[in-house]
Amino acid sequence: MFFKKILIAVDDTPPSQYAVDVGLAIAREDGSPVVFAVALDPTLTVTDCMFASIRELAEQLASEIIDRAMKQAAADGVTATSVTIFEDPVDGIIDLAKRERAGLIAMGTHGRIPIAGFVRSVADEVLRKTNTPLCVIRRPRRGKVYHRILVPVVDDQLSREGAAYAVDVARSFGSTLLFSTIPNGSHTLTPEGLLNLMKDYAGEHGVKAEGLVLKRQGAISGTIAMCARSEECDAIIMASHARDGLPRLIEGSVAETTIRSSDIPVVVVRR
């Protein structure tokens, strides 16, 4: 049991159903229990005189969503519990993951670019704040998860930590790792040297690994997503600085853009 417990954030959107599918598939293979969490708008609890009926409606909807997920978990033979929280979804999910000591948060995303005050991406916000590994799913699951995992790396400490996490996952799930890098000339190791280092590390831990130097085509995230598709990978594991505020504006976030362009689950780990 690698993850100990998986927290699956659910709501009434299609990507949430994809998250349930992927989360349960991982849980079944890992043997870990899952906890389904629905976050309801805390505004509904401001005062009974304004929102009692609407809160009841929201609870009814939450209960329908959870019932459906619990039935699916039972059919998959996965032990599941559920929680309904009246909190902002970002803080609520992060706090719950801590409380439940979850080893992984699985959640769906529409992949929309957030616009301050208008369009919100809960997945992006959770990614920036949580220390729990986050598995974000944008498209329906196809086949297995964690059978062949793409691990994009660069020559820095963060990537090494991400690679180490990927090796741990692969050892647990019997997966093959595909390390890939895009040459940018700013690091001491050559791309081939970096990939060999990663493969050796994986080999030392009994994990089968391959290496692939990618030629950048447009955005880095697009290149990673394209590689995942052409190499028939079923998950991407990558590390993120989880930058926020000004640094994020200047440097951007490859993890966030990869989530938005990938058709397969993206697992993001941060330091």
Partner 1 sequence: MASLRLPVLKPKEQQFAAADVRTVPQHGLVRLAIIVASVLALLVDGTASAIVNAGLPYVQGITTATPDQASWIITCFNAPYYATILVSPWLYAFLGRKPLLLIGLIGFAFVSILLSLTSSYSLLLVLRFFQGLFLGAVYVPAAILLFTSLPLAALTLAIPGFALVSLGAATMGSIIGGYLSENFSGYLIYLPGAATTLISAALVYFMAPNLDKPQPHLKHDVLGYFLSLLSFGAMWYLANEGERRNWFDDPSIYVAVVVLLIAFPLLLAWELYITRYPHINFRLFQRFRNLAVGGSINFFLGMAGYSVSLFILYLQTIIAATETLAGAMILLRLAAYVVGIAIAFLLVSRKILGLRTVIIIAAIGTSISFFIYAQTMTSTAEAASFIAISLVFGFFFSMLSQPVPSLVIGGLPLEQLPAGLSIYKVTSPIGLIVATAVFQTLYDHRTAIHAADLAGFVNRKSLEISSFLEGGGSQHGLSALVLQEAQNFALRDSMMVLGVLILVVIPLIFLANIAPRPPAQNK
For the beta carbon of residue 163, count every other beta carbon within 10 angstroms: 26
Integer Cα distance of 266 and 235 in angstroms: 6
In angstroms, give the least distance from the CB of 95 to partner 1.
10
For residues 45 to 84, the per-residue mask of contacts with partner 1, x marking binding by CB under 8 A and - elsewhere, is xxxxxxxxxx-xxx-xxx-xx--x--------------xx
Name the segment binding partner 1 (CB under 8 A); options: 44-52, 106-114, 162-170, 192-200. 44-52
Name residues whose C-beta falls within 8 Å of residue 85's C-beta, 6 or more positions apart in sequence.
37, 38, 39, 40, 92, 96
Name the strand (E) or helix (H) holding 252: none
Give the residue among 68, 72, 94 at the shortest CA–CA distance from 28. 72
Place of tokens 């691990």: 151
Alpha-carbon gap, residue 152 to 28, rounded angstroms? 26
* Least CB distance to partner 1 at residue 67 (A): 10
One residue of 9, 40, 266, 267 binding partner 1 per CB under 8 A = 40
Judged by CB under 8 A, the residue of 1, 4, 12, 101 near partner 1 is 12
- Can you tell me which of 14, 174, 193, 203 binds partner 1, judged by CB under 8 A? 14
Candidates 132, 137, 128; CA nearest to 241 is 128
Residue 17 CB, nearest approach to partner 1 (Å): 9
> For partner 1, what does the binding mask look like between residues 122 and 141, x meaning CB under 8 A?
--------------------
Given candidates 1, 4, 13, 112, which one binds partner 1 under the rule CB under 8 A? 13
User: Per rule CB under 8 A, is residue 113 in the interface with partner 1?
Assistant: no
User: What is the Cα–Cα distance from 11 to 14, expressed in whole angstroms?
Assistant: 9
Question: Which span (12-20, 138-146, 175-183, 212-220) binds partner 1, by CB under 8 A?
Answer: 12-20
To partner 1, the closest distance from the beta carbon of 136 in angstroms equals 18
Residue at token pair 């979850």: 102
Rounded least distance, CB 44 to partner 1, Å: 6
Q: Is the dihedral of CA 73, 78, 83, 89 positive or negative?
A: negative
Of residues 85, 182, 213, 219, which one binds partner 1 by CB under 8 A?
A: 85
The span from the CA of 189 to the CA of 109, in Å, is: 35
CB of 120 to partner 1, least distance (A): 9
In a 10 Å sphere around its CB, with 0-12 CB exposed, 13-18 middle and 19+ buried, how is residue 243 labelled? middle
In angstroms, give the least distance from the CB of 104 to partner 1. 21
Q: Residues in the site for partner 1, rule: CB under 8 A?
A: 11-14, 38, 40-54, 56-58, 60-62, 64-65, 68, 83-87
